[in-house]
Structure 1
Amino acid sequence: MIQIDGPFYRIVEPTFELLLPRWEGHDPQTQEEAEGTITLPDGTRYYGTFMTLDAITAVMRRHQSTGECLNGAYFSCEDLIIVHRPGIPAIVEVVRHLITSGELEGACTLLGPEESEL
């Protein structure tokens, strides 16, 4: 279940807690991008960026007009996890899989204890 926690959405499950910023104009059921902090039960924290292909395409088109990234010739984003479907429920499904498959560490950046959430 998606809970509102101040400026964040918080999703709590037995194997993880996911914290995502609440961006103005983004519906949690249809948003196509999010940055999140994933906390495991032992306190270990990871950071990832989740985007659909449509969101990446939109950024690249915007870069064509702004001149960034060689006029939209490429897109780069650290810790990028491309999701097929939009919405926080799709992101949660992906996080569950990353954890159960053991792929979380390879897909996301490990955050140190001194780093603040998002």
Structure 2
Amino acid sequence: MVNIWIEAEIWPKGSWDCNDDNTDVIVVFPDRSKWIASFFTYQNIETLRQKNIQTGECMNGSYFWYSDMILIDVISRERIEQLIDHLIKLDHLQSVFNRYHDVVAEEDDNYPVCFFNTEEPLR
């Protein structure tokens, strides 16, 4: 069991384009470990490149980088959950996501009751 927070889900209604957008995603495990990555659709990379050509950013659109970037076809909760499940099954999540500070007890109210397992580590 993991807890997945998707930044785009708190944006104003109608501002999230599942086919052309980017969003931060945080995954929390019952052992309190927290992992973060930034998801970009393939289309969003092209949109950003075109913007950068116009603005001159990133050497006029000649390159693009972003820390902890994951490229994905569609940014939806369903697709993000599928990818996270896939990465966990392959034991790749820790390679793809960046470790963030662990969840502290004062933050427990942000998670489902009994979500945190204090008896067993994740792995």
TM range (shorter): 0.7 to 0.9
Unaligned ranges ≥5, structure 2: 108-123
**For residue 95 of structure 1, what is the amino acid of its counterpart?**
I
Unaligned ranges ≥5, structure 1: 1-14
Measure, in 1, the Cα distance between the counterparts of 2:51 and 2:37.
Answer: 22
Q: What corresponds to 1:80 in structure 2?
A: 69
More helix by share: 2
Conserved? CA contact 1:32–1:87, under 8 Å: no
Higher relative contact order (CA 8 A, sep 6+): 2
Measure, in 2, the Cα distance between the counterparts of 1:32 and 1:89.
Answer: 15
Q: What TM-score do the two structures reach when normalised by structure 2?
A: 0.73
Conserved? CA contact 2:28–2:35, under 8 Å: yes
Pair member with larger Rg: 2
Question: Is it true that 1:26 corresponds to 2:16 in the alignment?
Answer: yes
Backbone CA RMSD of aligned residues: 2.2
CA shift in 2, pair 1:30/1:87, >3 Å: farther
Measure, in 2, the Cα distance between the counterparts of 1:41 and 1:104.
Answer: 15
Tell me the matched-pair count: 101
Q: What TM-score do the two structures reach when normalised by structure 1?
A: 0.76
More strand by share: 1
State the identity %: 22
